[in-house]
Structure 1
């Protein structure tokens, strides 16, 4: 059934009712819900049962999920605390990223990918899943403890690197025309950040204080601010994701930031379900034979290499061996950002469909296996053992 105006409601029915059924099965087997959404997309999408055959509109709608994800990520970042934590983990984050990127690059070259495709595949190997990392982190036990702070600061550093890579890919087609077209948006970026903070201080927060009794107004103003900054960033040559992230972090110091974050999470989750469904629906199952071996190799590298590498570098900055292993295990997967980067790079014709599907398949497989490792080994909200189950 096509995604025209007449079928949009029916398509939503298929997606969300199907997601409810699949999520029930996923939770019984202690899997991350993300995997369920992706599998559902593959089943119902154009390469499966063809019940949702035109995913263009769905992709456009689901893009809002990533915008809200980055807005809320920025909203949770206190700038001062972010700078303090990043100083502690910067060496670990940068050095580990260089190791993962180098090994991923060499592996991709071995399987015959081009230099540029290998560079991008290698880059995606540096990222771990923010959603999985946070979802499997028991907030009452670890979030305010040292292990939780290390984990979150490393994820934030990776997210910043991912956002930078997305910025480069958004302008990838301009590189051949000269670096000035790429450097211009980067030059505008500091002005956008300063303007964002000033707008929040002198316009957004005074309006919120004046009309704080009207909760729906706060909701609308927040969404307008987020999407407005996303559109502004895109208009000046950056990306909508960058604009949303800046919009969030500029509001992070406001006393109302946590109220906004709590109220926007259901909206974010709604769009993220659509994003991961469209990821599965866009996965061409006929290419599975072509990507199977590189996917296995990259997944093995990710799962086997990340824990000891993180342990090694954390030991170098005087962290305990057990802390290093746990942080490494919790970060021992690929990221939803890798899926997004693959999609953006493919849409800009920077990489071909084989490379894009290799990145996506690696992310899906490592998300699945890594969640098993964490659930069976460390404390988490969905641990099978009562001894390890912590909320």
Structure 2
């Protein structure tokens, strides 16, 4: 089948998403399930209506970048630093536990040592998209639960960047240890540059031209994507750059105006992200991977709340909050998908092991979403009592 134009692909994606989302709402299901199912149906392994998903996957990445930028806009730097100091032990301890659990489970199903280590590494992280998207705005802005979730996700992002750097250095051994050290040195530089540019350029432009709303919108997008690209250039992730861009602006009164106006744009690209997750999955491998993926998914969804609850208790968090944070982080991450793609392209793992990680990600996205929307306040909760925007 000839490849359709981008416009026709968007027609298929968003019209199909609207139809399936309507069915999901009528049957009281989370909307992101509709987007993933649509991707599997329309993608190259389904009906092949959209056979080349590379462009859509790249575009969907913008949604994650905007998500982290908006998250940064809601974070006061002083609170953020305090929370990261407090939660470092929990993030590192939980990552080690999930690495070992995933490694042992993969060995049980006969995967090689290298494949088992990489599958274990993919289990370490929780999804920024799921974690933040299912947090009500009031909880994200003003509640300790939101601060804990965000702090842990950010620390996991740093660990994920280190893992990705190790994988990249495995592809290109000529750079050696410097390829790991340089990005860690670059992070303080990125933060410093972000603060200086906001103080002496961005805020002055906003104050000078704040009557022109279109200009503020344009400046915010340019600042976000510029910092994202700058972070990638010095070896960090685009998401990290976008978050730093948001935090640097967080102390300005204009930050909430920017956040409100960028949310629809973020949601547009996040629909593409979940569609691309479903579309990139090879349905023909289901028979080979369903058992290990199901075991890993149950292990993640069942074990993460328990481990987070135990570790959070060690830093004197109360019982109910510890359970809630654990359930909200009870899935693996979009970084896990990236680990699967990079490791497979570098021939570190086979296609079967890569698809085990992808299938586990999809299953945990779905299962943890169900757990949260049925039990905790969220914007897409099933009951009116729990629904909070």
What is the TM-score of this pair, normalised by structure 1?
0.89
Query: Given that residues 170 and 239 in structure 1 are in contact (C-alpha distance below 8 angstroms), is that contact kept between their aligned partners in structure 2?
Result: no
Give 1:54-93 correspondences, 5 Å limit. Answer: 54-93=52-91
- In the alignment, the residues of structure 2 paired with residue 60 and residue 141 of structure 1 have an alpha-carbon distance, to the nearest angstrom, of 30
- In the alignment, the residues of structure 2 paired with residue 119 and residue 216 of structure 1 have an alpha-carbon distance, to the nearest angstrom, of 48
Tell me the SS of whatever aligns to 1:186.
Answer: helix
Question: What is the aligned partner in structure 2 of residue 158 from structure 1?
Answer: 156
Which deviates more, 206-215 or 348-357?
348-357
Which deviates more, 304-313 or 248-257?
248-257
- In the alignment, the residues of structure 2 paired with residue 188 and residue 318 of structure 1 have an alpha-carbon distance, to the nearest angstrom, of 33
Question: What is the aligned partner in structure 1 of residue 296 from structure 2?
Answer: 298
Give 1:209-288 correspondences, 5 Å limit. Answer: 209-288=207-286
**C-alpha distance after superposition, 1:73-119 (max 9, x if no partner):** 33333221111112232222221222111111221222233333323
Give 1:1-391 correspondences, 5 Å limit. Answer: 2-3=2-3, 7-140=5-138, 144-175=142-173, 177-391=175-389
Tell me the SS of whatever aligns to 1:332.
Answer: coil
Please state how far the C-alpha of 1:390 moved relative to its aligned partner: 4.5
Query: Given that residues 141 and 390 in structure 1 are in contact (C-alpha distance below 8 angstroms), is that contact kept between their aligned partners in structure 2?
Result: no
Please state how far the C-alpha of 1:19 moved relative to its aligned partner: 0.7
- In the alignment, the residues of structure 1 paired with residue 247 and residue 114 of structure 2 have an alpha-carbon distance, to the nearest angstrom, of 32
Tell me the SS of whatever aligns to 1:50.
Answer: coil
- In the alignment, the residues of structure 2 paired with residue 130 and residue 383 of structure 1 have an alpha-carbon distance, to the nearest angstrom, of 18
Please state how far the C-alpha of 1:20 moved relative to its aligned partner: 0.8
Please state how far the C-alpha of 1:200 moved relative to its aligned partner: 1.5
Tell me the SS of whatever aligns to 1:133.
Answer: helix
Segments of 5+ residues of structure 2 without an aligned counterpart are none
Q: Identify if the C-alpha distance between structure 1 residues 155 and 13 changes in structure 2 by more than 3 Å, giving closer, same or farther.
A: same
How many residues end up aligned between the 2 structures?
Answer: 389
- In the alignment, the residues of structure 2 paired with residue 355 and residue 52 of structure 1 have an alpha-carbon distance, to the nearest angstrom, of 25
Tell me the SS of whatever aligns to 2:172.
Answer: helix
- In the alignment, the residues of structure 1 paired with residue 165 and residue 137 of structure 2 have an alpha-carbon distance, to the nearest angstrom, of 32
Please state how far the C-alpha of 1:176 moved relative to its aligned partner: 5.6
Please state how far the C-alpha of 1:42 moved relative to its aligned partner: 0.7
- In the alignment, the residues of structure 1 paired with residue 168 and residue 259 of structure 2 have an alpha-carbon distance, to the nearest angstrom, of 27
Please state how far the C-alpha of 1:121 moved relative to its aligned partner: 1.9
Query: Given that residues 167 and 239 in structure 1 are in contact (C-alpha distance below 8 angstroms), is that contact kept between their aligned partners in structure 2?
Result: no
- In the alignment, the residues of structure 2 paired with residue 144 and residue 230 of structure 1 have an alpha-carbon distance, to the nearest angstrom, of 26
Query: Given that residues 175 and 181 in structure 1 are in contact (C-alpha distance below 8 angstroms), is that contact kept between their aligned partners in structure 2?
Result: no
What is the TM-score of this pair, normalised by structure 2?
0.90
Q: Identify if the C-alpha distance between structure 1 residues 76 and 353 changes in structure 2 by more than 3 Å, giving closer, same or farther.
A: farther
Q: Identify if the C-alpha distance between structure 1 residues 78 and 60 changes in structure 2 by more than 3 Å, giving closer, same or farther.
A: same
Q: Identify if the C-alpha distance between structure 1 residues 372 and 53 changes in structure 2 by more than 3 Å, giving closer, same or farther.
A: same
**C-alpha distance after superposition, 1:49-73 (max 9, x if no partner):** 1111122222232232222223223
Q: Identify if the C-alpha distance between structure 1 residues 260 and 312 changes in structure 2 by more than 3 Å, giving closer, same or farther.
A: same
- In the alignment, the residues of structure 2 paired with residue 227 and residue 271 of structure 1 have an alpha-carbon distance, to the nearest angstrom, of 14
CA-based RMSD of the aligned residues comes to: 2.5
Q: Identify if the C-alpha distance between structure 1 residues 75 and 60 changes in structure 2 by more than 3 Å, giving closer, same or farther.
A: same
